[in-house]
């Protein structure tokens, strides 16, 4: 339990640092709530009035604390452009990004795991080198390029699937997954190579272990050895990286969301920054950073759960 | 940006060296012939000489093809003003023509020659990439060496700062910096934006390597001879840290090119009429159905260049790979 | 039990002889060259008998046991010679055919129980999976058998152990588990590859006794591989001494200790510290290093470390020859206990050259003390 508590404290510290830093960063950007609200209409009086209304002249730390206080009670403020409460927007958009994330990692793994298993077993073969080459190629393709190519092939040439638009999962699961297929593939392609190589490398290393020879000496079949003996110990790094990727990608779906016009978290932040509407951005960053640290925390816990040696040696932590 | 995981050794388990021991060939062969045959396949690694360089001293054909391509692109970009290219700004009547003998890559929406725009665009994209990575390496490298060598409070502070930087999505951070500079979206701004994003990964990499080297005997030896810290850093640690940084930088330049593309897609890259690869790709995306070459030609060149950089950087890493299980 | 031919005409001899190894060689093709890990080993093994294979690190004893069992995979492994199990040649068996042999007919106990047990798999599963593979029993029956097995190897509270992981047991217990796994399907030959080297001294004797008991009960043949002559003295019927991949001496145990011929065997024996020596007696270690198996020296492998060495030893390779006693073979020009040997030893002691310099080689790595 001491382990868990220590991690939670670290979590909190990181959150505070990140939110403070982002508040600071946004401070430096041109424009603020007042100017955005008054854009078009009202001159200096409007700006003065709004500035007073939102206490925009108070020193930054004060405003930060005030904002923090709001966050703790669930009030993330409102967008200056459309007055929508940020918490409401976040509630709408977070599930979208999460669905995209889960979907894309799932797709990546569906390819990476079997390919990795086979490549490890037939290490050095044509399949091994060929699959590594192909996946490496995917890795090198910039995501916007892949997105464009996918759009070109499917909606444009083959008239399949929509280039833009999103159906919520709760409305219609199939349509939802269909609408997210192209963006999910775009995100998945980049990770496939990493996952496959990681699994393959670990598998090859594990296969050198004595207990694999022992399993062989018991007469177990190669497939049994691969799946039952070698796979589990080799999956630790993979799981760790998947977890870390989740954390990283929560903020990394930006470009894909913009290209495919998906109203997720990423697009929200971009719209905010480009529209000089910073309160939503601040709120979104909280969610992104929280997601990042929570996921890292969860990965640590899962790691401990998977490896019985760590579980039983908790006292050493 | 790829974040090297050398920072958290617990994440990726490393195989401990079976050569931990005498290093004497006879003993090693003897030891291995006593054990599993798999280890004997690693005998090739025994070909290392004193400092562990692999005997495979050839960089391989892949490297040379990749390097060749990149040099070609870079030369074209550099020499653009003196090459016999069509104007990259002058519109013409040939609107949205597909690639032909006259216009190698076709023309865009106002009739400009895409091939020459790609060459000129390469100037900007490559310049941005080099500048940003140079900035990142200098700043990040300094941070890394200082935290790795001096440890303690400085390390906690600097690495904490890097961690905060890293918890921001890269594109978002770059976007913010561009926004920070207001409407001044020039070469400097974009390079700065991408450069700042690259600081933290470089710092991590350099720190990890500094940690490894500062504990080696030759540093202790230098210190015991009374060498001052600055001298140690420059003469002992820096030369060894350069190699991993070199291979990382090569790959990072590719990533920077892609990052510029990403910014362009958000409309936040270098302002028109200056062509950049990302800008051209982004501009052409509305014409995918009827004039795909507007996006696809710059896409192709960008992809090949990034691929070349990835392959070259990877080969360099293998070539200079010092055994990391010391 | 003879070392070369079996009496194939006798029906009793045929049934009793489980394993016939004839001129077995195993080499590994590597980037550096071909490693001759095992070179020309010949012996037979009957039911209920124990063969001891003794040698230091690098002698090829482990490769030998794995080679006989056919566990060495990979396209760079070359086996030559013949290994006949119950009359059938098993070199050349496919992996699938061998997988029927492993576990059910032959099995192995490995040296380090911490690494030979899967750390993330429960112990029960590691036992029952081979039961279900070879004997086709269902889950419950397998578990009952596993419990009985654990009991028979002396593990307390076996039901509880089924659900535990290897790291939860002590070293000695883990080795007992490994033995249980190896014996699970009732193999006829057990290879014990340095079964006690990784264990505490106090536990070593227990494990060896356990192996003895099991062997007797099951009327198994056993090949006991070790670097410790003392271990095989009381537990093996016949001993093979290996050095540099070759058999350098081979004899029934009593014969070996009564009239050993190889200087190497003698040196091994002398290097074992004994309790009845006065304190501060200098350990009689064998100086030098094992030979380079890719480019072995001309002449005898052991020459550079031998007390009896003479110029002939550096030029000619001694062949394996038979001694007067039945079943005794050795590989030396100046064997221990013979007039030539004595003369050689005396000559060396007199002139002060305990060890001769090795012949100059371009890539030599062997050193002398």
Mean pLDDT confidence for A75-83: 79
Q: What is the mean pLDDT of chain A?
A: 82
Residues B210/B294, Cβ–Cβ less than 8 Å:
no
Q: Interhelix angle for A86-121 vs A278-306, to 10°?
A: 40
Instruction: Name which of B34, B40, B41 is nearest C58 (Cβ-Cβ).
Output: B34
Mean pLDDT confidence for A68-91: 82
Tokens 């003698």 sit at which residue? C266
Does the CB of A199 have a partner CB in chain B at under 8 Å? Answer: no
pLDDT confidence band for C362 (50 / 70 / 90): very low
Percent of chain A with pLDDT over 70: 91
Instruction: Name which of C28, C32, C245 is nearest B46 (Cβ-Cβ).
Output: C32
Res C11: pLDDT: 44
CB contact under 8 A, C71 and A216: yes
Taking only the tens place, the pLDDT of each residue in B246-264 is: 888 998 999 899 999 889 8
Q: Taking CA atoms, what residue in A is nearest to C167?
A: A309
* Residue A53 reports pLDDT greater than 90: no
Does the CB of A171 have a partner CB in chain C at under 8 Å? Answer: no
Taking only the tens place, the pLDDT of each residue in A157-181 is: 777 776 676 777 777 777 788 888 8
Instruction: Name which of C61, C62, C365 is nearest B24 (Cβ-Cβ).
Output: C365
Res C350: pLDDT: 82
Res C6: pLDDT: 42
Q: How many other C-beta atoms can be found within 10 angstroms of the C-beta atom of residue C347?
A: 13
Mean pLDDT confidence for A173-193: 86
Q: How many other C-beta atoms can be found within 10 angstroms of the C-beta atom of residue A289?
A: 25
CB contact under 8 A, B310 and A139: yes
Q: Taking CA atoms, what residue in A is nearest to C191?
A: A217
CB contact under 8 A, C293 and B34: no
Res B212: pLDDT: 78
Res C353: pLDDT: 65
Q: Is C184 helix (H, G, I), strand (E, B) or coil?
A: coil
Residues C118/C126, Cβ–Cβ less than 8 Å:
yes
Mean pLDDT confidence for A119-123: 86
Please report residues of C whose CB lies closer than 8 A to that of A225. none
Taking only the tens place, the pLDDT of each residue in B106-164 is: 888 888 888 888 999 999 999 999 999 999 999 999 999 888 888 788 888 888 888 88
**Residue C46, beta-bridge partner list:** C17
Res B81: pLDDT: 86
Chain A 200-239, residues with CB within 8 Å of chain C CB atoms: 209-211, 213-222, 224, 228-229, 232-233
CB contact under 8 A, C74 and B38: yes
C317 or B47: which leads in pLDDT? C317
Residues A254/B171, Cβ–Cβ less than 8 Å:
yes
Query: Which chains border B (3 or more CB–CB pairs < 8 Å)?
Result: A, C
CB contact under 8 A, A224 and C165: no
Q: Are strands C329-330 and C246-252 parallel, antiparallel or unpaired?
A: antiparallel
* Residue C366 reports pLDDT greater than 50: no
Tokens 């576990």 sit at which residue? C103
Q: What is the mean pLDDT of chain C?
A: 83
- C305 phi, psi to nearest 5 deg: -120, 10
* Residue B63 reports pLDDT greater than 80: yes
Q: Taking CA atoms, what residue in A is nearest to C117?
A: A211
Which segment of A205-219, B145-159, C185-199, C268-282 scores lowest on mean pLDDT? C268-282
Shortest Cα distance from C119 to chain A (angstroms)?
Answer: 8
* Residue B5 reports pLDDT greater than 50: no
CB contact under 8 A, A148 and B307: no
* Residue C127 reports pLDDT greater than 80: yes
Q: Is C191 helix (H, G, I), strand (E, B) or coil?
A: strand
Res A309: pLDDT: 66
Residues B236/B205, Cβ–Cβ less than 8 Å:
no
Please report residues of C whose CB lies closer than 8 A to that of B25. 292, 363, 365
Res B318: pLDDT: 78
* Residue A100 reports pLDDT greater than 70: yes
- For residues B299 and B172, give the distance between their C-alpha atoms in angstroms, rounded to a whole number: 23
Mean pLDDT confidence for C191-205: 86
pLDDT confidence band for A106 (50 / 70 / 90): very high
- For residues B198 and B2, give the distance between their C-alpha atoms in angstroms, rounded to a whole number: 9
Number of H helices, E strands in chain A: 15, 0
Instruction: Name which of A213, A214, A220 is nearest C133 (Cβ-Cβ).
Output: A220
CB contact under 8 A, B33 and C73: no
Which segment of B3-12, C20-29, C87-96 scores lowest on mean pLDDT? B3-12
* Residue A92 reports pLDDT greater than 50: yes
pLDDT confidence band for B40 (50 / 70 / 90): very low
Mean pLDDT confidence for C131-147: 90
Instruction: Name which of A14, A29, A144 is nearest B179 (Cβ-Cβ).
Output: A29
Res A288: pLDDT: 86
- How are the residues of chain C apportioned to helix, strand and coil, as percentages rounded to the nearest 5? 35, 20, 45
CB contact under 8 A, A217 and C108: yes
Interface of B with A (CB under 8 A): 11-13, 15, 36, 38-39, 160, 163-164, 167-172, 175-176, 179-180, 182, 254, 258, 261-262, 265-268, 278, 281-282, 285, 288-289, 292, 295-296, 299, 302-303, 306-307, 310
- For residues C64 and C59, give the distance between their C-alpha atoms in angstroms, rounded to a whole number: 9
CB contact under 8 A, B176 and A29: yes
* Residue A262 reports pLDDT greater than 90: no
- pTM here is 0.75
Number of H helices, E strands in chain C: 14, 12
**Nearest one of A297, A315, A280, A220 to A77, comparing CA atoms:** A280
Please report residues of B whose CB lies closer than 8 A to that of C290. 26-27, 30
Which segment, B314-323, C1-10, C135-144, is predicted with the most confidence on average? C135-144
Res A63: pLDDT: 80
Which segment of A184-198, B219-233, C340-354 scores lowest on mean pLDDT? B219-233
Query: Which chains border C (3 or more CB–CB pairs < 8 Å)?
Result: A, B
Shortest Cα distance from B232 to chain A (angstroms)?
Answer: 34
* Residue C269 reports pLDDT greater than 90: no
- For residues A215 and A227, give the distance between their C-alpha atoms in angstroms, rounded to a whole number: 12
Please report residues of B whose CB lies closer than 8 A to that of C31. 43-44, 47
Peptide bond into B273 cis (omega under 30): yes
Q: What is the mean pLDDT of chain B?
A: 76
Res B69: pLDDT: 93
Instruction: Name which of C72, C73, C290 is nearest B30 (Cβ-Cβ).
Output: C290
Chain A 266-305, residues with CB within 8 Å of chain B CB atoms: 266, 269-270, 273-274, 285, 288-289, 292-293
Q: Interhelix angle for B187-214 vs B114-150, to 10°?
A: 40
CB contact under 8 A, B33 and C37: yes
Please report residues of C whose CB lies closer than 8 A to that of A309. 119-120, 165, 167
Instruction: Name which of C60, C76, C290 is nearest B26 (Cβ-Cβ).
Output: C290
* Residue C57 reports pLDDT greater than 50: yes
Res C240: pLDDT: 93
Mean pLDDT confidence for C194-210: 86
The vertex-A206 CA angle with C169 and A304, nearest 5°, equals 55
Mean pLDDT confidence for C12-27: 79
Centroid of chain to Cα B204? 14
């Amino acid at each position: 339990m001491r382990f868990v508590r220590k991690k939670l404290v670290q979590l909190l510290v990181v959150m505070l640092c990140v939110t403070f830093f982002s508040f600071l960063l946004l401070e430096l950007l041109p424009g603020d709530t007042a100017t955005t609200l008054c854009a078009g209409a009202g001159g200096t009086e409007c700006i003065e009035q709004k500035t007073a209304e939102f206490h925009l002249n108070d020193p930054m730390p004060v405003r930060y604390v005030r904002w923090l206080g709001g966050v703790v009670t669930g009030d993330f403020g409102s967008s200056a452009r459309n007055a929508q409460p940020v918490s409401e927007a976040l509630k709408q958009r977070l599930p979208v990004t999460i669905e995209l994330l889960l979907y894309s990692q799932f797709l990546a793994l569906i390819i990476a795991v079997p390919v990795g298993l086979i490549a490890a077993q037939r290490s050095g073969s044509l399949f091994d080198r060929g699959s590594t080459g192909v996946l490496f190629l995917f890795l090198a393709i910039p995501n916007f390029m892949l997105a464009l190519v996918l759009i070109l092939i499917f909606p444009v040439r083959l008239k399949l699937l929509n280039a833009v638009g999103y159906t919520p999962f709760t409305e219609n699961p199939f349509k939802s997954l269909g609408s997210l297929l192209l963006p999910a593939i775009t995100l998945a392609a980049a990770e496939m190579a990493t996952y496959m190589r990681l699994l393959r490398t670990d598998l090859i290393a594990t296969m050198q272990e004595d207990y694999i020879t022992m399993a062989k000496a018991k007469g177990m079949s190669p497939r049994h050895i691969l799946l039952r003996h070698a796979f589990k110990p080799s999956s630790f790094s993979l799981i760790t990286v998947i977890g870390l990727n989740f954390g990283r990608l929560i903020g990394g779906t930006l470009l894909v969301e913009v290209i495919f016009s998906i109203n997720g978290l990423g697009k929200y932040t971009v719209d905010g920054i480009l529209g000089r509407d910073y309160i939503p951005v601040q709120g979104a960053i909280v969610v992104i950073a929280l997601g990042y640290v929570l996921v890292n925390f969860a990965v640590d816990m899962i790691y401990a759960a998977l490896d019985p040696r760590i579980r039983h040696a908790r006292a050493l932590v | 940006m790829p974040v090297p995981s050398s920072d958290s050794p617990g994440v990726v388990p490393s195989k401990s060296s079976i050569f931990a021991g005498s290093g004497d060939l006879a003993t090693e062969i003897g030891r291995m012939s006593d054990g599993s045959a798999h280890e004997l396949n690693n005998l090739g690694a025994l070909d290392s000489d004193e400092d562990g360089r692999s005997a495979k001293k050839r960089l391989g054909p892949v490297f040379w093809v990749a390097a060749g391509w990149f040099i070609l692109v870079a030369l074209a970009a550099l020499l653009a003003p003196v090459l016999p290219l069509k104007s990259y700004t002058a519109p013409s009547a040939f609107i949205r023509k597909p690639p032909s003998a006259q216009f190698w890559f076709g023309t865009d929406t106002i009739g400009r020659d895409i091939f020459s725009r790609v060459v000129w665009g390469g100037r900007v994209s490559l310049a941005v990439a080099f500048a940003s990575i140079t900035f990142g390496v200098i700043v990040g490298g300094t941070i890394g060496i200082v935290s790795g060598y001096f440890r303690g409070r400085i390390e906690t502070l600097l690495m904490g700062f890097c961690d905060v930087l890293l918890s921001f999505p890269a594109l978002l951070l770059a976007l913010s910096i561009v926004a920070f500079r207001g409407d001044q979206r020039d070469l400097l701004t974009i390079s700065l934006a991408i450069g700042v994003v690259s600081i933290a990964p470089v710092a991590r990499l350099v720190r990890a390597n500094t940690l490894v080297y500062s504990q080696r005997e030759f540093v202790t030896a230098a210190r015991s001879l009374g060498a001052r810290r600055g001298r140690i850093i420059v003469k002992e640690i820096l030369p060894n840290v350069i190699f991993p940084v070199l291979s990382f930088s090569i790959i990072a330049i590719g990533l920077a090119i892609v990052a510029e593309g990403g910014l362009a897609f958000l409309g936040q890259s270098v302002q028109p009429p200056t062509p950049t690869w990302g800008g051209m790709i982004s501009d052409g995306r509305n014409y995918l159905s009827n004039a795909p070459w507007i996006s696809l030609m710059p896409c192709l060149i960008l992809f090949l260049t990034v691929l070349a950089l990835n392959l070259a950087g990877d080969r360099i890493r293998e070539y200079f790979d010092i055994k990391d299980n010391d | 039990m003879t070392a070369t031919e079996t009496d194939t005409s006798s029906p009793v001899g045929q049934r009793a002889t489980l394993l016939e190894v004839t001129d077995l060689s195993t080499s590994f093709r590597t980037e550096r060259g071909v490693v001759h890990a095992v070179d020309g080993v010949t012996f037979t093994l009957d039911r209920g008998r124990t063969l001891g294979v003794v040698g230091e690190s690098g002698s090829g004893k482990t490769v030998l046991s794995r080679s006989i069992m056919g566990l060495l995979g990979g396209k760079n492994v070359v086996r030559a010679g013949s290994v006949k199990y119950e009359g059938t040649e098993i070199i050349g068996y496919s992996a699938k055919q061998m997988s029927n042999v492993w576990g059910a007919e032959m099995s192995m106990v490995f040296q380090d129980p911490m690494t030979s047990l899967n750390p993330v798999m429960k112990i029960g599963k590691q036992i029952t999976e081979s039961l279900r593979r070879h004997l086709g029993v269902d889950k419950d029956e397998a578990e009952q058998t596993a419990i009985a097995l654990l009991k028979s190897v002396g593990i307390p509270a076996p039901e509880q152990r089924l659900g535990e992981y290897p790291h939860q047991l002590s070293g000695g217990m883990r080795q007992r588990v490994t033995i249980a796994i190896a014996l699970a399907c009732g193999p006829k030959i057990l290879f014990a590859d340095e079964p006690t080297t990784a264990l505490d001294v106090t536990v070593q004797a227990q494990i060896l006794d356990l192996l003895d008991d099991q062997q007797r009960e099951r009327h198994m043949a056993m090949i006991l591989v070790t670097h410790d002559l003392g271990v095989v003295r009381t537990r093996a019927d016949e001993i093979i001494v290996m050095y540099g991949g070759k058999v350098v001496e081979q004899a029934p145990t009593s014969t070996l200790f009564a009239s050993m011929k190889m200087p190497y065997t003698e040196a091994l024996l002398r290097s074992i510290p004994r309790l009845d020596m006065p304190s501060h007696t200098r350990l009689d270690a064998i100086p030098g290093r094992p030979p380079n198996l890719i480019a072995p020296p001309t002449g005898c492998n052991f020459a550079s470390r031998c007390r009896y060495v003479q110029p002939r030893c550096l030029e000619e390779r001694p062949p394996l020859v038979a001694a007067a006693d039945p079943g005794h073979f050795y590989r030396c020009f100046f064997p221990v206990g013979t007039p030539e040997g004595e003369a050689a030893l005396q000559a060396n002691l007199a002139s002060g050259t305990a060890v001769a310099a090795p012949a100059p080689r371009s890539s030599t790595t062997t050193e002398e003390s």
